Amino acid sequence: MNELKGKTVVVVGGTAGIGLATAKAAAAAGAKVWAAGRSEAHRRKAMAGADGAFAVREADIHDAGALASLYREAGVIDHLALCAIGGERTLKPFLEQTAEQFKAAYGKLWGYANAVRTGAPFLAEDASITLVSGSPARKIRPGQSVLSCVGGSVENLARCLAVEMAPVRVNIVSPGTIDTAMFDWMGEDRNERLNAMTAGHLIPRAGTPEEVAQGILFAMGNRFVTGATVDVDGGRILS
């Protein structure tokens, strides 16, 4: 964590869930942090919880102009973390999806590519970029084809960038089932259903955004890690 003290960190998709936990953790480690998101409701909540520890800004990962303004304000960026969902995901078997639904999920890949391309001129020479994918990229279950395909594309993009952008380091953090607002639709059955979903994992529970944030900060701070995938999934891909 000492590696982050005084460093400039930008978290796109940083106003909720894993991104917000990352912004808070980086700020607690002494970094100067900008957290950006497109949702006004999420930004308000993040600002209330930030208590001045980090800056909260509006930016959509698909909006190159807004991202450039964010990056320009931050100055020379030491660590860029991309945590935005970026696309609309339809979780049903491939043959039950329309072509438009399947394509829409790839908004995450296009958004990440946009954020990296726009941010490259602002990066320090020894900067790091961390992309968030997900365990379905390598552990496939029925109805998760779109998550797997998009996650796999994000992971391959990161490896390509690690080769092309060196000495900038580019890594992936791959979360498993994480207890975030994406499961709010479960209502009162949330805990019971999450427990059922993770009962067969090596660590039989859902993870927390803070646990994933620790993986992202590891990827930021370890100067000998690039092109790597850091799994924070409770052993999901092995179970």
pLDDT at 51: 86
Asked whether residue 6 is assigned to any structural domain, the reply reads yes
Asked whether residue 237 is assigned to any structural domain, the reply reads no
- Order of strands, sheet of 77-82, starting from the edge strand that comes earlier in the sequence: 55-58, 32-37, 8-12, 77-82, 123-132, 169-175, 229-232
Residue 185 has pLDDT above 90, yes or no: no
pLDDT at 188: 76
Asked whether residue 199 is assigned to any structural domain, the reply reads yes
Asked whether residue 238 is assigned to any structural domain, the reply reads no
Using CB atoms within 10 A of its CB, is residue 94 exposed (0-12), middle (13-18) or buried (19+)? middle
Binning pLDDT at 50, 70 and 90, where does residue 211 land?
Answer: very high
pTM: 0.94
Asked whether residue 239 is assigned to any structural domain, the reply reads no
Please give the Cα distance from 102 to 106 (Å, whole number): 7
* Segment 179-197 mean pLDDT: 81
Asked whether residue 126 is assigned to any structural domain, the reply reads yes
Asked whether residue 55 is assigned to any structural domain, the reply reads yes
* Segment 227-235 mean pLDDT: 97
Q: What is the CATH number of the domain that holds 228?
A: 3.40.50.720
Mean pLDDT across the chain, nearest whole number? 95
pLDDT at 191: 84
What's the total number of domains in the chain? 1
Residue 30 has pLDDT above 60, yes or no: yes
Domain that holds residue 37: 2-232
